[in-house]
Structures are given as structure tokens and as C-alpha cells.
Amino acid sequence: MRTLKIKDLTLDELELLEQDLHENGEKSDYGYYMQLMIVYETMYKKLKSLARNNGPQYDYSLQHTKNVFVSHIIKFGPYIKMNHFKDDGDAVESLIKAIGLEQKLPIAYYRLGFLAYKHGKYGSAVRYFQQALNKQLLGDPRYALNQQQEFHAHMYLANSALYVASQTYETMEKLPYLQEEQLPNPDLSPLFETLASNEKYLQNHAFYKITKNNTATCSKEACEDLYENSESNELVLYFNDRENILLFNGEEVIITPTQANMIRHLLLSSSKENPSTRITMSDFFGRTGSDGEVKKNTFIKSIERLRETLRSIDIPEIIDVTQYNGSTAYYFNEAVPFTVLFRVDDAFGNEYVN
């Protein structure tokens, strides 16, 4: 179905299209996450109109769809053009759209601050990091920063302000003052020393490195070194700044964010005693199902596609199936050691690190 016609579908037709997208997965290299975003935005607009004209019976559906839409924007916004590759410009546009829908989103402001800082837009970074910390104080658990992210937000805020100050002094030196009107030349060396110290800290703690028994932070360079020199029979899942990669015994495959997040969830949050179900993994599938959860068939098909991806680089069968509270569930069986690498600034990061 062409994207241009999605806006003309009924709510029931939109739900069927959403289900079809989830069940069939990414069939090409681009457009999958964009289509989902358009589906959710269209659902939201239609429900908003119905709630406005027909009263509170649509309030629950409206709020649920809004939550799904916002979640999708934040977590998959960088991939709205290319399913396998991130784009900072798309990420910024998506995050701005998210905070236009919902104000209490510390992680969205944080991500905007990080992207502004990354591209040298320090004035914007100051504003975004300050808003992230202000929203964090509201106590709303949705999209809150974890402890490491909150500390980084303070560090980034301080550094952004220092960069703005240093740039201001450099501009002042170029102004056409008369000699007697010039301001005293400040000693900027302490400022630059603080900048350098903060930058070194942020660089050395840019990524999480998580194994079965340990969670630590490390630099991007350390991640690259670990990735290039991984142990034999070790599974490495690397969320780098461009793509998400699975590596095993020298073979690698670039995977979509949905599959990357599914395997991360299984590695870090599942066990034989506490397997993952369609409910615990619902964040990766939107709002399918009459009960508001992922349909069983959609969930099972997605797991099988993930298994096929693992087999493509000869990873042993590491996902076992079981029954949990009457539902089909899956868990990582610990057949191989693993290391998961992802940025502290990851929107999903606070779900795996206290």
C-alpha cells in the first residue's frame, strides 16, 4: 500500500496495516519505520478528532496511541529513511516532533542536547540539557534519565556553557573598540583546562560495555578495539554511531534497530526463570492486538526472523522457547559469552542500566 494513501484509511484498516508491517518486517532497505510513523500519526489525528467530537469514550485509545506514537518517534526516529542506518538530521526532526506532542520527555531533550553538542551547536545544547534536567525534576518516570545520563547531562551542560563563554570572548576580541574602551583580557586558561578535563571524562565514559557479570563504561575507541579483537565464540552486539552490528567469530551482519533491540533485551533481561514474552517486549511492536499487546503470531514471526539473522553468521541456537504464565516466551540460553556495547546516550539505555 502506498504511503500517500495511508491518511485515507479507516482506523480498522490502519490497525490491519500496522499488523501487516510488524508481521512481515523490513522488506527493503528503507521506508519501514517511516510507514509505521505515518500509520501512528494518522491514527492519532483520527482519534483526536473523534475524542473532540464524540466525548470521553475515545480518551483511552487516544492516549494509548499517542504514547505509542511518541515512543516510536524517540526510539526509531533516526531510521525513518534507511532501516539499517542512523541519520542525525532525521533524529533531530523526530525528537522535536515528540516534544511537540508530550512535554515531559527528559530523554528527548537530552538526545537533542547531545546531537546539538555533537555538531558544535553549543547554545542550543545549553537550552536542551537544561530542559532535560528540569523535566527530570518533575518526577515523571516516562522517558526519565538514568543516573549516568543525568550526570552526563550536567557535564554536557557545563561544557556547552563553557564553549559559549569561550566563543563569546573570542568574538569580543575582534570588536572594533578603541584602546581605552577595551575590556581587560581575561585569563582563559582555567576555562580551557576545565573544558579539556570534562571532554576527557565524557569521551572515556561514552559507551556502556555490558557482559553477563559486569556493567562498565568505556570510550568509543575501547569499543572499536574490543570489536576488532573479540574473543573466539563471543557474541558482540555493537550499537555504534552509524549502524547496529552483530559479530561472531569474525563474521558480522548489520541489523535493523528492531532486531538489535530484541537481541539486546534477550541478552540482558531474559533468563530461563524469567523469559521474555510478547508483553515484556511490546515496546518493539507498537499497539497490535485487541488487548493492546503484540499479537502472538506477530511476536513468534519476529523471533523466527531474529533467529534466521543469527544463523546467517553461524551463531549457535541461543534463543530457547518455553511457556510462561500460559504464553509463548523466549530466553537467552547462555550458550555463548556476549558483550553488548551502546552509547550512554541511547534512548533505550535506562531500561538496562540502573
102-132 tens-digit pLDDT: 989 999 999 999 999 999 999 999 999 999 9
Taking alpha carbons only, the member of 276, 296, 318, 349 closest to residue 114 is: 349
Is this prediction's pTM over 0.75? yes
8-state DSSP, 276: B
Q: Looking at the structure, tell me whether residues 211 and 151 fall in a common domain.
A: no
Q: Looking at the structure, tell me whether residues 215 and 289 fall in a common domain.
A: yes
Is 152 inside a domain boundary?
yes
Is 264 inside a domain boundary?
yes
C-alpha cell recorded at residue 238: 555493537
Q: Looking at the structure, tell me whether residues 147 and 56 fall in a common domain.
A: yes
Q: Looking at the structure, tell me whether residues 236 and 151 fall in a common domain.
A: no
Is 81 inside a domain boundary?
yes
Whether the CB-CB separation of 73 and 94 falls below 8 Å is answered with yes
Question: In terms of residue numbers, what domain contains 219?
Answer: 207-351
Q: Looking at the structure, tell me whether residues 308 and 228 fall in a common domain.
A: yes
User: Which one of 124, 156, 188 terminates a domain?
Assistant: 156
Q: Looking at the structure, tell me whether residues 145 and 261 fall in a common domain.
A: no
Is 181 inside a domain boundary?
no
Q: What is the pLDDT of residue 225?
A: 96
Range picked from 11-15, 247-251, 301-305 for highest mean pLDDT: 247-251
Is 198 inside a domain boundary?
no
Is 90 inside a domain boundary?
yes
Q: What is the pLDDT of residue 42?
A: 95
Q: Looking at the structure, tell me whether residues 122 and 18 fall in a common domain.
A: yes
Is 63 inside a domain boundary?
yes
Is 32 inside a domain boundary?
yes
8-state DSSP, 185: -
Instruction: Please give the torsion angle defined by the CA atoms of residues 31, 343, 300 and 6, in that order, rounded to the nearest 10 degrees.
Output: -20
Residue 344 to residue 208: CA distance in whole angstroms? 6
CATH classification at residue 337:
1.10.10.10
Q: What percent of the chain has pLDDT over 70?
A: 92
Residues contacting residue 33 through CB under 8 Å, at least 6 positions apart: 72, 76, 79, 80, 83, 257
The residue with greater pLDDT, 137 or 234, is 234
Q: Looking at the structure, tell me whether residues 225 and 124 fall in a common domain.
A: no
Residue 157 has pLDDT above 70, yes or no: yes
Q: Looking at the structure, tell me whether residues 7 and 152 fall in a common domain.
A: yes
Alpha helices (H) in the chain, listed in sequence order? 11-24, 32-54, 59-76, 88-101, 106-118, 122-136, 147-173, 189-204, 220-228, 257-269, 296-311
Taking alpha carbons only, the member of 99, 186, 175 closest to residue 134 is: 99
